[in-house]
């Protein structure tokens, strides 16, 4: 059986950075599941058909990190049929040996509830907005509004809302340097790998 690390949390909390670092450290496969939703939203047209027919080229688009793609991802992720179309892909990915790190919004609660390690990464709204604004060259105030709208949509949707798994370890990155947050995550994986 594959060793699975599930990392959830809101946008710009640091979960992707931690996930990539964990995958590199342990030699695991990594999937940013948000890219699946971003690619689905960015394709346009019928979102259910887009989700069912995603290709590697769709995931390699260079516009998937834009604020527009993030908003589109949040909208299509609220569609139960889109989520269902992407669940199997994510579970197959997680089953790869020797292990996999998946980051998203519902990995520990829906996609891989059996994951050996579940992390929920958070940061204050202001810190997240500043991070995302710096990444995109955007206005922090406008970014704060966008993130709060997206958080509301993601946490209030009926299908797989954004919330920590009951057994998730919470890492608040608001006042942590990247290496400190990664060290906490590595320690959590080391404890549970035995």
**Residue 134 labeled ligand binder:** no
**Residue 51 labeled ligand binder:** no
**Residue 164 labeled ligand binder:** no
**Residue 12 labeled ligand binder:** yes
Q: DSSP states of the chain as a string?
A: --EEEEEE--TTSSHHHHHHHHHHHHT-EEEEHHHHHHHHHHH-S-HHHHHHT--HHHHT-TTTTSHHHHHHHHHHHT-HHHHHHHHHHHHHHHT-SSEEEEEESSIIIII-TT-SEEEEEE--HHHHHHHHHHHHT--HHHHHHHHHHHHHHHHH-SSS-S---TTPEEEE-TT--HHHHHHHHHHHHHHHH-
**Residue 13 labeled ligand binder:** yes
**Residue 70 labeled ligand binder:** no
Where do the domains of the chain lie, and which CATH numbers do they carry?
3-193 (3.40.50.300)
**Residue 15 labeled ligand binder:** yes
Please report the pLDDT score of residue 26 as a whole number. 97
7-53 tens-digit pLDDT: 999 989 999 999 999 999 999 999 999 899 999 999 989 999 999 99
Give percent of the chain above pLDDT 90.
73
């Amino acid at each position: 059986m594959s060793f699975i690390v599930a990392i959830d949390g809101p946008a710009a909390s640091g979960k992707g950075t931690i996930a990539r670092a964990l995958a590199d450290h342990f030699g695991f496969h990594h999937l940013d599941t948000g890219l699946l939703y971003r690619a689905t939203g960015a394709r346009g047209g019928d979102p259910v058909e887009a989700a069912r027919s995603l290709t590697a080229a769709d995931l390699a688009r260079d516009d998937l990190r834009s604020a527009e793609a993030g908003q589109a991802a949040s909208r299509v992720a609220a569609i139960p049929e889109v989520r269902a179309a992407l669940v199997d892909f994510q579970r197959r990915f997680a089953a790869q040996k020797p292990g996999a790190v998946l980051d998203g919004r519902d990995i520990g609660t829906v996609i891989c509830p059996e994951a050996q390690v579940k992390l929920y990464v958070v940061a204050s709204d202001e810190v997240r907005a500043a991070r995302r604004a710096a990444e995109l060259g955007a206005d922090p105030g406008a970014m704060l509004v966008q993130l709060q709208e997206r958080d509301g949509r993601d946490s209030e949707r009926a299908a797989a809302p954004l919330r920590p798994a009951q057994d998730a370890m919470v890492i608040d990155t608001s006042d942590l340097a990247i290496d400190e947050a990664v060290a906490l995550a590595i320690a959590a994986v080391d404890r549970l790998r035995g």
